[in-house]
Chains A and B, each alone.
Chain A
Amino acid sequence: MATEAAHGPLRCLLDGSLSAFDSDVRRRPYHRNCGCALHRAGACSNVLPCSSSHISYPIHRSWSPLSISASDPAASSPCVAIRLAGDPGIVGLMSKQMKEQLEREEKNKYSIIIPTYNERLNIALVIYLIFKHLRDVDFEVIVVDDGSPDGTQDIVRQLQHVYGEDRILLRARPKKLGLGTAYYHGLKHASGNFVIIMDADLSHHPKYIPSFIRKQLETGASIVTGTRYVSGGGVHGWNLMRKLTSRGANVLAHTLLWPGVSDLTGSFRLYRKSVLEDVITSCVSKGYVFQMEMIVRASRKGYHIEEVPISFVDRVYGSSKLGGSEIMEYLKGLIYLLFTT
């Protein structure tokens, strides 16, 4: 979104990480004749009276303000720092290229957080499908179970034997404490730099995770959210009443909140870990409203949000845990968001 673009040059002033480009060129020989900003920066250093130049560029990884510095001791000769504030144009150019480069090269790790309550069979199927569809991705699955009486945790332990205890983490809580806090609990144990949140009930098919990851890499977005309401996405198994409420809720929320996201209540999303940590701490709602609050707050904070189409097949096994006065809760949540965001 446009907000992020305007965000870019500003961000680098705040982040202000330092790095030596010449060592970067050395480590990445294909960069030698590409004529990109990085290389041009090298050319401009010839004009300056020094043997090697030291230049700053932002790292668009908000999960840690890490700075990459010259690992090559030979490069650490007296150097000139080209001021960040000097030329926002060049900085903007470099930030984009470096960001793309870094994100493609570094090994991203994805933590998949799945909250469960009485999902004995579903969790096994979901985990099988995750491992089937994420072959060459570094990931971990974090199951946050709220003391399900149906023995969900036994199944997760059996799955740990099959797939390894380092790939499937069981982070259980003693009793049913709600969905919002379940995400927060899982997040505390996440070791990846990206977090994927999904339901265990098979409405969120793991086959879409690669498209979330691809979208993030292509756009550098902070949040990728799955949407059911565009072409390529869809819903299966809802009756007319359910469709009507869903449409009504969506239109109402869009007219009142202008969120810039088509699917507000979907909960199949990929977040940069730092972004999730930032957003989740300011969210207090429950149920559907929680998902809406997360995305609305993130959008207000100016995070870059992208969407991918997903299909949503209503749960086959088990029963839904949301219920009761959903519509009233939703309306209350909407008003709450109007006044607080």
Chain B
Amino acid sequence: MKHILKILTLLLAFSVIWIILLETSVIPRTYTWLLPVYLIVSLGCYGLLMVGVGLMLFPTCPQDAVLLQKDIIEAKEFLKDKGVDVGSDRERTLL
């Protein structure tokens, strides 16, 4: 099944539940009318929360950058010995 169909089925299920709630009016109609709005708002909150939390806990690895610099120096020495042209004149260093 194409993925979009799965999502549409989910939406359909939600709207069926919603319509049933509307028709049977187990809870007051004014509340039921607002339910989809709540759904969208909570989805948005979820998204923002996930981005925010992810941003705060963004895994970083400063020590790997240091190790990489060591590796680069080591590699350059070895390659220079072997006659590979690793002169970095044309390159720009960003770190």
Residues of A within 8 A of B (CB): 120-121, 124-125, 128-129, 132, 150, 154-155, 158-159, 161-162, 202, 205, 228-231, 233-237, 243-244, 247-248, 250-252, 255-258, 300, 311-318, 337-341
Contacts and interface: CB of A to CB of B under 8 A. Distances in A.
Contacts of B72: 125, 202, 316
B75 to A, nearest CB: 4
B36 to A, nearest CB: 17
Contacts of A300: 3
By Cβ-Cβ distance, the 4 closest A-B pairs, closest first, are A234-B61, A234-B59, A311-B61, A128-B75
A191 B56 CA distance: 44
Given A129-B71, A155-B85, A315 B94 contact: yes
Nearest to A243: B58
Contacts of A257: 3
Contacts, number: 116
A34 B58 CA distance: 48
B95 interface: yes
A247 B58 contact: yes
Nearest to B48: A251
Looking at chain A's contact residues, the main secondary structure is: helix
A255 B91 CA distance: 41
B12 interface: no
B61 A318 contact: no
Interface in B69-92: 69, 71-72, 75-76, 78-79, 82-86, 88, 90-92
Contacts of B94: 237, 314-317
A227 to B, nearest CB: 10
Contacts of A338: 3-4, 7
Given A121-B86, A128-B78, A340-B2, A236 B91 contact: no
A159 B51 contact: no
Given A121-B88, A124-B84, A317-B93, A244 B68 contact: no
23 contacts: A120-B90, A124-B86, A128-B75, A128-B79, A155-B84, A155-B85, A205-B64, A234-B60, A236-B60, A236-B61, A247-B54, A247-B55, A251-B51, A312-B61, A313-B61, A313-B64, A316-B95, A317-B88, A317-B91, A318-B91, A337-B3, A338-B4, A340-B2
